[in-house]
């Protein structure tokens, strides 16, 4: 797919990752001249369940906002029927690679960041189910006052980004017929089909930290068969990390062992408790939340209070589908939620396979029709590249109606 252009907008540069059901590519957004990541369903994964999970992942991420998550932008359908969506491109390594040779004091901020984002998704009633090295990328950058009580502090730091919400689900009882996750990171209660809550993610975090600190895979013994491995995983008999690392901080080892407990009740009940425990033996004191994470809670709160407006927009959208389009003007004071309403509406229409064109008001351009300039430029380009399609009488009439509205 290298160098292919998707939807006349995204130029595929190279493949950067793959999973059980999808592939991820580095791409250039030709409209904005920015680098993004493009996640596309695999050609062999077209069952309705896989497609629904993929759509659900996009819808879920579109509703979440946190500095340790990737933002998603647009959802679309390829000519062959496969779904795709775009998201932030993260330049960095997985957490196992990125932490090689890292001191414990430099590792603690990454653990804290992971705990903050886990606390966030758990507060939404969600469980990730697939915390593992390849799903945590580490990018270098700067963040002001994030890891210190001193708000003016500014320093280069590592940023953890939690990826791949394809397995994410709500808290519920499993019947054992379907296990979410990757061995050996799956919590024992998930394997047993018991009631699962956020502590399952904390178990996975423990396995992740075990591997990072010892540079060895977490093992429960010498597995000779899959059935034996399952039995050993259920028992969760782990060799202590200090067996492989002579100078490992004792209290960090105790924290990891507690996370690896076979009994959820023995583990920490919340990710924030892990941060509080780290604060007891780290040289730094970490805030449970930063300005950026608090902003995420506020901006990703449940979409309520605009049901009437959204219902009206959806009704007009359905009318537009039948050739009766209208111009809608949304007004209100700054901060009242106009942008949030339109973002939500954009997500809904894109998932219904509609193309969305967006225009912006630029401060240095004050023409009376300036907001429509970008929209019509995109629309004209869209039509040019689909000239054969728009030769039909049906589409000619649609264009006539559209331009008549203006």
174 annotated ligand binder: no
Reduce the secondary structure of the chain to three states and give it as a string: CCCCEECCCEEEEEEEEECCCEEEEEEEECCCCEEEEEEEECCCCCCHHHHHHHHHHHHHHHHCCCCCECCEEEEEECCCCCEEEEEECCCCEEHHHHCCCCCHHHHHHHHHHHHHHHHHHHHCCEECCCCCHHHEEEEEEEEECCCCCCCCCEEEEEEEEECCCCCCEECCECCCCCCCCCCCCCCHHHHHCCECCCHHHHHHHHHHHHHHHHCCCCCCCCCCCHHHHHHHHHHCCCCCHHHCCCCCCHHHHHHHHHHCCCCHHHCCCCHHHHHHHHHCCCCCCCCCCCHHHHHHHHHCCCCCCCHHHHHHHHHHHHHHHCCCCCCCCCCCCCCCCHHHHHHHHHHHHHCCCCCCCCCCCCCCCCCCCHHHHHHHHHHHHHHHCCCCHHHCHHHHHHHHHHHHHC
- Residue 390 to residues 55, 350, 400, Cα–Cα distance (Å): 29, 20, 11
Distance, in Å, from the CA atom of 126 to the CA atom of 48, rounded to the nearest integer, reads 23
* Partners of 86 in the β-ladder: 38
Q: How many C-beta neighbours within 10 Å does residue 121 have? A: 22
Half-sphere exposure of 5 (CA within 13 A, CB side): 7
Per-residue b or e along 333-371, where b marks 16 or more CB atoms closer than 10 Å to that residue's CB = eeeebeeebeebbbbbbbbeeeeeeeeeeeeeeeeeeee
Residues belonging to the binding site for ATP are 39
Question: Which residues are part of a known binding site?
Answer: 39
């Amino acid at each position: 797919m290298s160098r292919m252009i998707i939807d006349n907008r995204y130029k595929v540069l190279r493949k950067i990752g793959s999973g059980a059901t999808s592939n991820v590519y580095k791409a250039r957004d030709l409209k904005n001249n920015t680098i993004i990541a493009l996640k596309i369903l695999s050609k062999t994964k077209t069952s309705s369940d896989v497609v629904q999970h993929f759509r659900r992942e996009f819808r879920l991420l579109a509703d979440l906002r946190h500095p340790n998550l990737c933002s998603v932008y647009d959802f679309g359908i390829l000519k062959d029927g496969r779904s795709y969506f775009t998201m932030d491109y993260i330049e960095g390594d997985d957490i196992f690679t990125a932490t090689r040779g890292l001191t414990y004091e430099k590792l603690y901020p990454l653990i804290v960041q992971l705990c903050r984002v886990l606390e966030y998704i758990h507060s939404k009633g969600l469980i990730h189910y697939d915390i593992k090295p390849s799903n945590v990328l580490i990018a270098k950058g700067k963040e002001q006052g994030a890891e210190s009580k001193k708000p003016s502090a500014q320093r280069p730091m590592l940023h953890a980004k939690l990826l791949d919400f394809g397995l994410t689900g709500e808290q519920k009882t499993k019947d054992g017929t379907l296990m979410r996750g990757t061995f050996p990171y799956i919590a024992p209660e998930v394997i047993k089909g018991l009631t699962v809550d956020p502590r399952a993610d904390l178990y996975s975090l423990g396995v992740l930290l075990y591997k990072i600190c010892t540079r060895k895979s977490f093992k429960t013994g010498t597995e000779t068969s899959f059935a034996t491995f399952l039995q050993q995983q259920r028992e969760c008999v782990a060799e202590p990390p200090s067996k492989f690392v002579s100078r490992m901080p004792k209290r960090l080892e105790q924290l990891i062992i507690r996370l690896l407990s076979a009994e959820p009740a023995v583990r920490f009940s919340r990710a924030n408790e892990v941060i509080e425990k780290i604060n007891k033996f780290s040289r730094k004191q970490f805030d449970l939340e930063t300005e950026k994470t608090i902003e995420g809670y506020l901006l990703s709160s449940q979409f309520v209070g605009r049901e009437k407006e959204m219902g009206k927009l959806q009704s007009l959208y359905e009318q537009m589908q039948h050739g009766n389009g209208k111009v809608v003007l949304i007004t209100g004071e700054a901060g009242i939620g106009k942008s949030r309403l339109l973002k939500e509406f954009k997500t809904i229409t894109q998932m219904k396979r509609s193309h969305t064109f967006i225009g912006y008001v630029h401060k240095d351009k004050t023409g009376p029709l300036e907001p429509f300039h970008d929209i019509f430029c995109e629309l004209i380009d869209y039509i040019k590249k689909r000239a054969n399609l728009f030769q039909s009488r049906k589409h000619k009439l649609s264009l006539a109606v559209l331009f008549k509205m203006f």
